[in-house]
């Protein structure tokens, strides 16, 4: 069954974020305005929102391919994936939605010219995403032992769930980085990260699922 413990979105996003926080990155964040279009215009809205819309579409396409390949591999694997996904979403959404609070604060600090505070707040959320595993992992293991009990695909569902649970902080980190970039108006970077990551994901499906 596919191992998604390594999240390529986080790797690509973190590389650019750390560069942004360097001395050269200060210029990257200090440009006035989000786009070259008039503030609040339809063109500016389209410029900022379209990459995010395409990123969401890319995510669902990747998810569809994951499920499609699993269904060809084994029906039991597909059942285990479906059952485990319904539970892991509870833990993912908890940490991800808190991490998404980064976006309005970064946008506010950028708008008021307090760029150093934007970086400080983002770092606080990065530490939250990392240390959230201290609570999420024990709680997830306890709940899953009850949730999957007497299930026909209990062992497979537990294995699939554990991969996501131990890598849960990566999804929260992804939310922090994407919120940071959307807060400073760099939504195209988010789309590029998603496109590269999801392309790798779909390409690796064949190797990780079918063992080729």
Segment 75-101, tens digit of pLDDT: 888 889 989 999 999 999 999 999 999
Q: Which of 7-21, 125-139, 185-199 has the lowest mean pLDDT?
A: 7-21
Angle formed by the axes of helices 133-147 and 168-183, to 10°?
Answer: 130
Hunting for tokens 């195209």 — which residue is that? Answer: 188
**Model confidence band, residue 71 (pLDDT cutoffs 50, 70, 90):** confident
Which residues are CB-neighbours of 173 under 8 A, at least 6 positions away?
Answer: 7, 10, 13, 14, 99, 126, 129, 130
121's tokens:
């707040």
* SS3 state at 53: helix
Give dist(CA 12, CA 171) in Å, integer: 13
Q: Is 115 exposed, middle or buried (0-12, 13-18, 19+ CB in 10 A)?
A: middle
Percentage of the chain beyond pLDDT 70 is: 84
Percentage of the chain beyond pLDDT 90 is: 54
In 3D space, the residue among 121, 130, 139 whose CA is nearest the CA of residue 172 turns out to be 130
Give dist(CA 60, CA 182) in Å, integer: 20
Degrees to nearest 5, angle at CA 89 with 86 and 91: 125
Question: How does 122-151 read in b/e, with b if 16+ C-beta sit within 10 Å?
Answer: beebbebbeebbeebbeebeeebeebbeee
- Sign of the CA dihedral running 109, 111, 113, 116: positive
Residue 11 has pLDDT above 70, yes or no: no
Q: Average pLDDT, stretch 10-39?
A: 54
**Model confidence band, residue 212 (pLDDT cutoffs 50, 70, 90):** low
């Amino acid at each position: 069954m596919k191992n998604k413990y390594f999240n390529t979105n986080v790797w690509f996003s973190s590389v650019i974020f750390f560069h942004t926080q360097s001395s050269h990155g200060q210029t990257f964040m200090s440009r006035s305005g989000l786009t070259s279009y008039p503030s609040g215009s339809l063109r500016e809205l389209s410029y900022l929102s379209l990459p995010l819309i395409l990123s969401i579409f890319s995510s669902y396409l990747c998810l569809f391919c994951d499920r499609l390949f699993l269904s060809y591999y084994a029906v039991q694997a597909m059942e285990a994936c479906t059952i485990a996904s319904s539970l892991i979403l509870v833990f993912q959404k908890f940490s991800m939605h808190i991490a998404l609070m980064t976006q309005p604060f970064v946008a506010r600090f950028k708008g008021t010219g307090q760029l150093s505070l934007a970086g400080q707040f983002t770092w606080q959320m990065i530490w939250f995403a990392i240390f959230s595993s201290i609570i999420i992992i024990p709680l997830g293991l306890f709940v899953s032992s009850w949730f999957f009990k007497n299930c026909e695909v209990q062992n497979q569902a537990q294995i699939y769930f554990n991969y996501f649970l131990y890598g849960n902080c990566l999804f929260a980190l992804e939310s922090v980085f994407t919120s940071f970039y959307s807060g400073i108006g760099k939504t195209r970077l988010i789309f590029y990260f998603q496109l590269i990551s999801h392309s790798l994901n779909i390409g690796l499906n064949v190797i990780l699922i079918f063992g080729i």
